[in-house]
């Protein structure tokens, strides 16, 4: 919820200080997900396929970052920079 709220805030806010706080919230929530996702996978994945699941987690993070940048790049000219952040909050 922190990530979605921060993305929505960054997309809708106009004051620079508020946007900075929202971006900080996005960074902190992404860092926590990155750290705890591997711990969760290691604790819950079957022992014989942990490496595969850790690989899937890493690949999905990279794919999501790449796809998000592409969507933002294509949509920013016609829909504005905030569209990508509001879309990310909705997803």
Write out pLDDT tens, residues 25-75: 888 888 887 788 888 888 999 999 999 998 988 888 788 878 877 888 888
Give the pLDDT confidence of 11-22 residue by residue, as tens digits. Answer: 888 888 988 898
Per DSSP, the residues of 14-70 read -SHHHHHHHHHHHHHHHHHHHHHHHHHHHHHS-GGGHHHHHHHHHHHHHHHHHHHHH
CB-hemisphere CA count at 13 Å for 79?
12
């Amino acid at each position: 919820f922190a990530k979605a709220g921060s993305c929505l805030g960054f997309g809708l806010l106009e004051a620079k200080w508020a946007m900075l706080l929202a971006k900080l919230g996005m960074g902190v929530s992404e860092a926590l997900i990155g750290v705890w996702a591997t711990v969760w996978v290691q604790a819950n994945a079957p022992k014989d396929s942990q490496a595969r699941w850790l690989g899937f987690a890493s690949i999905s993070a990279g794919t999501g970052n790449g796809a998000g940048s592409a969507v933002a790049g294509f949509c920013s000219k016609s829909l504005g920079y905030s569209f990508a952040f509001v879309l990310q909050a909705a997803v």
